[in-house]
Structure 1
Amino acid sequence: MTIFGPLGPSLASSVTRNRGLYRAFKPFADWYADIAGYRRYGLKYDDLLVEERDDVQRALSRLTDSETYDRSFRFKRASQTSILHAELPKEQWVKPEEDVRYLKSHVESVVEEDNERSAWDNMAIQRKK
């Protein structure tokens, strides 16, 4: 398993595997997610991924109809609140337990497929003597 994600090196897998590190970083991660403010507009973390990346575009095409609709609804609602220069009412904010990574598995499978395709495309064939 590599520590490199689609955007570069990542220590997240090492931190989540080590219980002591996880307990040390979890409060900071929760605080950072709260202060980032995307949940106040009804968005989830995966809504913030850059859509112009090829792997994200292909992952978005793999979402179910209901996931696609929910994502569009969250964007429209966030755009409306941004135009009004207001946040959603507190009861409509995305709660931390609702902020699940719905797109991550799709992006990872797209990256794995690209890596496999690249390995097959660049395979060197050697003749037996």
Structure 2
Amino acid sequence: MSYPTLYNTVKNSRFLYGLLKPVASFYANIAGYRQLGLRYDDISSDDGDITKEALKRISPKEQDLRTYRIRNAFQLSLQHDILPKEKWTKPEDDVRYLSPHIDEVVKEEEEREAFDAIKIVRK
């Protein structure tokens, strides 16, 4: 059973979406990760089992690009510096590459738990 979420409510309402989209864009710009050349999914924690499984499912090329972006951002952070403005991650380039895999892993876990909870009744 699916419950209504704030995300779906905002996404389906033109008024709320139009009201919150500029706020979301402003927040993403001041968060600072784009100034280091990172994408949103690069800043997610790698500690959880679900995230580790999702990271195994992305392509090797995307894994290499992610590692490069994170190492580059770490080096810039150590130098207390940011990239030149023309090298910042643009909003149109800040696409979610890991979130679809995370959603897929979560659905598989829920399905696995549902099957594990089945009780067999013999007649």
For Structure 1 versus Structure 2, the TM-score category normalised by the shorter chain is: over 0.9
State the 1:63 CA deviation: 0.7
Q: Does 1:123 align with 2:101?
A: no
> Which residue of 1 is the match for residue 57 of structure 2?
62
Aligned partners of 2:9 and 2:63: how far apart in 1?
Answer: 31
Amino acid at match of 1:109: E
Gaps of 5+ in 1: 5-9
Deviation at 1:85, TM superposition (A): 0.7
Deviation at 1:127, TM superposition (A): 3.9
- How many residues align? The count is 123
RMSD: 1.5
Cα distance in 2 for residues equivalent to 1:67 and 1:11: 30
Contact 1:81/1:87 (<8 A) preserved: yes
Using the alignment, how far apart are the partners of 1:53 and 1:47 within structure 2? 14
1:21-78 Cα offsets, whole Å, 9 max, x none, are: 1111000000010111100001100111111011000000001011001100101110
The alignment's TM-score, normalised by the length of structure 2, stands at 0.94
Q: Distance in 2 between matches of 1:64 and 1:91?
A: 27
| Runs of 4+ with >3 A deviation | 1-4
Are 2:16 and 1:12 aligned?
no
| 8 A contact 1:40–1:93 mirrored in 2 | yes
2:102 aligned residue: 107
Q: Determine what percentage of the aligned residue pairs are the same residue.
A: 46
Correspondence for 2:21: 26
Tell me which protein shows more helix as a share of its residues: 2
Contact 1:38 1:44 in 2 (8 A): yes
Extract unaligned runs of 5+ from structure 2. none
